[in-house]
Chains A and B, each alone.
Chain A
Amino acid sequence: MTDIAPRLGLRGITKRFPGVLANDNVSFEVKPGEIHALLGENGAGKSTLVKMIYGIMQPDAGEMLWNGERVTIASPKAARKLGIGMVFQHFSLFEALTVLENIALGMDANIPQRELEGRIRAVMTQYGLKLEPHRTVSTLSVGERQRIEIVRALLLNPKLLIMDEPTSVLTPQEVEQLFVVLRQLAKEGCSILYISHKLHEIKALCDTATILRAGRLVDTCDPKVETSRSMAEKMIGGNLKTIQKPAGREFGAEKFVVTQLSLPGAGPFGVALHDISFRVRAGEIFGIAGVAGNGQNALQLALSGEQTTSDAQAIRVDGEGVAKLDAKARRLKGIATVPEERNGHAAVPDFTLSDNSVLTGRDRLKLAISGILRPGAAKKYTSEVISSFAVKATGTEATAGSLSGGNLQKYIMGREILQRPDVLIVNQPTWGVDAGAAAAIHQALVDLAAEGSALVVISQDLDELLELCDTLAVINGGRLSRAMQVSGVDINEVGLLMGGIHGGSAPVESAAPGAIGVGATSAA
């Protein structure tokens, strides 16, 4: 094997930003047809490194080899010319355009639309990726948007595919499908540089793992030999905390009850909610699993009060109907929420963290009294959030948009949790957050529940729900299945419920548990 030149070789790559050494003398190789994991916490320098490989940035020192030859990758276009494709964690899509138009814009060559559509459909069938080319991106869920990026990259027949956190929004079945695709690609000789925080996935998929910490290469190892824990500890450079969740906890009275909540879908492609019913007791963590785009966002908006319903009793807190109240009034009743999208929904990117604290905390924390803001109080609360949740930011006056995804998520979670809400509803609490930070967020959620709050966790990461929740239900096509005890849950059944409609290859019988689930919820 040694006589074959590596597909990509990095030698002593160094990149400096003002005040930060993002990459310090990083060297490793990716062989042809190899699936190579790149691991590290947020801020470890993974993104910077792949940006240099993809030509978005230039290294300050070091050299890159492509098939054994020294290359300078001046731009993403040059990278694509070499055969490097990339699927970004943050999608670069124009929301007002269709899937097809977005892909056409990303192509270097000018291909007639009809031919391009044919090629897109071919790639989608070949790799089992479901997408409607003529839908407008703004109506698509995060998971569907990601598929556009994957198709876009695959259309270029890459020799090296960089994937930044590709599975964070997929179901177990979809992840398996993606892995089939990636293994197929690798067998065809395409190398894959795979960035992920999900260590068991890396164990299942990757041949080699390179671990970065604080910009330095810590280790290159074989993930099949390592344990998830040993890799995580190399990543964070210390011992990984496991969630301290007392076994056999007792729950209090019913705190948050949703009864036959139905809402029409927003927009032509919005998901309607049908007769959603569930109840969460004090101290209980209730998980809602499901594939992206099955009504999670609609449900989150309905629960937070950003979307109100005509039947006040559809949502009750401590017996009091709140479904007619808006988000502000519901917060005063003790309901705090964290939506999926951080930038522009949970937080205003152009605002400082202090101002973002005012956004949701102004009433409960008295950050505004009789209409006048109290910047000092907002600052104090924000620095409390920053220190308790180890948010990496330049201070309370840093803009939310300047934080990395994981750090912003820690800030947002901290902002809501420290308000000590009676009911906390979170959508995708740890999307794109590294293992260390995710553990911290999970622990904070468990602690909040232990204090008697009722928690609803909506997530597409089933492992997260199984680890975190006491009770679990599955949302599919805007309907919620019956609630199941996590301790006695059948993973296969959950997987089938999740795949109900979207699985495609799933057998017809898979619809049956969904139907039973809907029937059962009305009794709940």
Chain B
Amino acid sequence: MLYATPVGAVIVTMIVGALVFSLITPPPQGFSLPPANPPPVDLSTILTSIGSHLWFGLQAVYQVFIAPLVTSYKWGDIAVKASPLILIGVGLAVGNRAAIWNIGAEGQYVVGALAGTGIGLLTQKMTGVWILPSMLVAGLIGGAVWGAIPAALKNWFNVNETLSSLMLTYVAIHLMNHLVTGPWKDPTGFSFPQTPLVTADQTLPILVPGTYVHLGIVITLVIAVIVWFLMSRSLFGFQVRVVGAAPSAARHGGFSQKATVWMVFLLSGALAGLAGIFEVTGPFGQMSLGFPQNYGFTAIIVAFLGRLNPLGVILAGIVLAITYVGGDMAQSVLQLPNASKGIFQAMLLFFLLASDILIRYRVRVVSSAPAPMPNAAVARSPAE
């Protein structure tokens, strides 16, 4: 059941997605089959109309979920999009296991990218193999520092980490906006709000010529496997799981809740920051106002879809990357709005969480107005 729900959620998303996009009226250009005037209302026209609408809905699902897979030259794009989702998702999966909710990975991603870019700006005129690694380390540290803020607030002042980490995201984005439009703006960039392009020594090596498939993707996969090992076989993973599953038992076992909060935020922040600097030294080549791509938020879906298991997160990251690539393809092929991929991603999380709840609990129709709750054990089905 645990692993059936993500698959089920993807299938239900495709079905409901098809229905939702069938309802778009009129279907964008090229799909308005019924003749414009005069409209003779007869059965065949209506059927044709319904048929064309359904056909359009299916097309939308096909473009978003299937087309990227059957178009081999898109595979590189999928890998490039999946990399940050997986890297951030792995970190979030660890946090969610401990029931510590880092919603601010987007901010840690941006600050990691900023920190790495800062090193990049200082080393613009230099050469050497040390430059790229030092940028990556700066990215790790930047993300970890930004993640440490909600951890400190939670441990010292009992501030809810969900809110503080989310709010810090917007602080991070404004910080970035300030830097790329002001002090860090490329002087030779015709006043565009962007930093100078990274130099050759600041760029991640491309592994597959002709694509954007970069070294960061391999590092991401290695990290996912390492975190999987840590979570399943190390005392650190054990601690994270105990703190999430039973906080009192964790205290009884001598595991510190506060230390866990620190570790989880530093780890997930560092991984998000690394993802950020990978984007700067890889596909983007610079920072600009359009740098935040919502990877930090989409990675929340990735973590849950991957069942909070780092290996599952790899698969889930690929699925979500497909919706990114497919969403772009649907924009050009079907003139779907850019928001459509967001609709699919949101439905995916919704159906996943809903099916998890429905597996654990049974819905009962209760007749009388007051809620009779004889005892919780009755309402809870033993399906688990």
Residue B125 at the chain A interface, CB threshold 8 Å: no
Which residues of the other chain, B, contact A305 by a CB distance below 8 angstroms? 254
Q: In whole Å, how far is A30's beta carbon from the nearest beta carbon of chain B?
A: 21
Q: Decide yes or no: A306 and B249 within 8 Å by CB, A348-B242, A372-B235 being known contacts.
A: no
Q: Are B254 and A327 in contact (CB under 8 A)?
A: yes
Which residues of the other chain, A, contact B242 by a CB distance below 8 angstroms? 348, 351, 359
Which residues of the other chain, B, contact A396 by a CB distance below 8 angstroms? none
Q: Decide yes or no: A373 and B235 within 8 Å by CB, A329-B254, A346-B249 being known contacts.
A: yes
Q: Decide yes or no: A105 and B371 within 8 Å by CB, A339-B252, A359-B249 being known contacts.
A: yes
Residue B376 at the chain A interface, CB threshold 8 Å: yes
Residue B191 at the chain A interface, CB threshold 8 Å: no
Q: Are B375 and A92 in contact (CB under 8 A)?
A: yes
Residue on B with the closest CB to A368? B235
Q: Are A371 and B246 in contact (CB under 8 A)?
A: no
Q: Decide yes or no: A306 and B251 within 8 Å by CB, A110-B370, A362-B235, A373-B233 being known contacts.
A: yes
Which residues of the other chain, A, contact B236 by a CB distance below 8 angstroms? 371
CA–CA, A304 to B254, complex, Å?
A: 9
Q: Are A359 and B253 in contact (CB under 8 A)?
A: yes
Q: In whole Å, how far is B28's beta carbon from the nearest beta carbon of chain A?
A: 49
Residue A226 at the chain B interface, CB threshold 8 Å: no
Q: In whole Å, how far is A64's beta carbon from the nearest beta carbon of chain B?
A: 18
Q: Are A348 and B249 in contact (CB under 8 A)?
A: yes
Residue A523 at the chain B interface, CB threshold 8 Å: no
Which residues of the other chain, A, contact B248 by a CB distance below 8 angstroms? 341, 344-345
The count of residues in chain B whose C-beta lies closer than 8 Å to any C-beta of chain A is 28
Residue A328 at the chain B interface, CB threshold 8 Å: yes
Query: Would you give the 0/1 interface string for B237-269, flagging 1 where the beta carbon is closer than 8 Å to chain A?
Result: 010011001101101111110000000000000
CA–CA, A397 to B15, complex, Å?
A: 38
Residue B377 at the chain A interface, CB threshold 8 Å: yes
CA–CA, A371 to B235, complex, Å?
A: 5
Residue B43 at the chain A interface, CB threshold 8 Å: no
Residue B122 at the chain A interface, CB threshold 8 Å: no
CA–CA, A118 to B238, complex, Å?
A: 49
Residue on B with the closest CB to A304? B252
Which residues of the other chain, B, contact A304 by a CB distance below 8 angstroms? 252
Which residues of the other chain, A, contact B255 by a CB distance below 8 angstroms? 328
Residue B70 at the chain A interface, CB threshold 8 Å: no
Which residues of the other chain, B, contact A12 by a CB distance below 8 angstroms? none
Q: Are A358 and B374 in contact (CB under 8 A)?
A: no
Q: Are B238 and A373 in contact (CB under 8 A)?
A: yes
* 8 Å CB contact of B238 from A76, A88, A327, A355: A355
Chain A, range 327-379, C-beta contacts under 8 Å to B = 327-331, 337, 339, 341, 344-351, 355, 358-360, 362, 368, 371-373, 375
Residue B383 at the chain A interface, CB threshold 8 Å: no
Q: Are A109 and B234 in contact (CB under 8 A)?
A: no
Chain A, range 71-94, C-beta contacts under 8 Å to B = 75-77, 80, 88, 90, 92, 94
Q: Are A359 and B377 in contact (CB under 8 A)?
A: no
Q: Are B246 and A349 in contact (CB under 8 A)?
A: yes
Q: Are A331 and B254 in contact (CB under 8 A)?
A: yes
Q: Are A77 and B374 in contact (CB under 8 A)?
A: yes
Residue A68 at the chain B interface, CB threshold 8 Å: no
Residue B209 at the chain A interface, CB threshold 8 Å: no
Residue A252 at the chain B interface, CB threshold 8 Å: no
* 8 Å CB contact of A372 from B234, B246, B377: B234
Which residues of the other chain, A, contact B377 by a CB distance below 8 angstroms? 56, 90, 92
Q: Are A327 and B245 in contact (CB under 8 A)?
A: no
Q: Are A77 and B372 in contact (CB under 8 A)?
A: yes
Residue A108 at the chain B interface, CB threshold 8 Å: yes
Residue on B with the closest CB to A362? B235
Q: Are B375 and A106 in contact (CB under 8 A)?
A: yes
* 8 Å CB contact of B375 from A76, A327, A329, A331: A76
Residue A219 at the chain B interface, CB threshold 8 Å: no
Q: In whole Å, how far is A429's beta carbon from the nearest beta carbon of chain B?
A: 16
Residue B365 at the chain A interface, CB threshold 8 Å: no
Q: Are A108 and B253 in contact (CB under 8 A)?
A: no
Residue A326 at the chain B interface, CB threshold 8 Å: yes
* 8 Å CB contact of B378 from A76, A337, A346, A347: A76
Residue on B with the closest CB to A375? B233
Which residues of the other chain, A, contact B371 by a CB distance below 8 angstroms? 105
CA–CA, A304 to B249, complex, Å?
A: 12
Residue on A with the closest CB to B230? A371
Residue B1 at the chain A interface, CB threshold 8 Å: no
Chain B, range 26-41, C-beta contacts under 8 Å to A = none
Residue B369 at the chain A interface, CB threshold 8 Å: yes
Residue on A with the closest CB to B229? A372
Which residues of the other chain, B, contact A337 by a CB distance below 8 angstroms? 252
Which residues of the other chain, B, contact A109 by a CB distance below 8 angstroms? 370
Residue B129 at the chain A interface, CB threshold 8 Å: no
Q: In whole Å, how far is A90's beta carbon from the nearest beta carbon of chain B?
A: 8
Q: In whole Å, how far is A39's beta carbon from the nearest beta carbon of chain B?
A: 23
Q: In whole Å, how far is A151's beta carbon from the nearest beta carbon of chain B?
A: 15
Query: Would you give the 0/1 interface string for A305-327, flagging 1 where the beta carbon is closer than 8 Å to chain B?
Result: 11000000000000000000011
Residue on B with the closest CB to A363? B254
Most buried by B among A56, A76, A341, A359: A359
Q: Are B234 and A326 in contact (CB under 8 A)?
A: no
Residue on A with the closest CB to B251? A306
* 8 Å CB contact of B253 from A327, A329, A341: A327
Q: What would 19 A/B residue contacts be, using CB atoms closer than 8 Å? A: A94-B376, A106-B374, A108-B368, A108-B372, A110-B370, A306-B252, A327-B253, A328-B253, A339-B252, A344-B249, A345-B248, A348-B249, A350-B245, A359-B252, A359-B253, A360-B254, A371-B236, A372-B233, A373-B238
Q: B residues near A, CB below 8 A?
A: 233-236, 238, 241-242, 245-246, 248-249, 251-256, 368-378
The 9 closest A-B pairs by CB, nearest first: A328-B254, A92-B375, A327-B254, A110-B370, A359-B253, A76-B374, A348-B246, A345-B248, A368-B235
A-B contact sample (4 more), CB < 8 A, given A327-B254, A368-B238: A329-B254, A348-B245, A349-B245, A359-B249
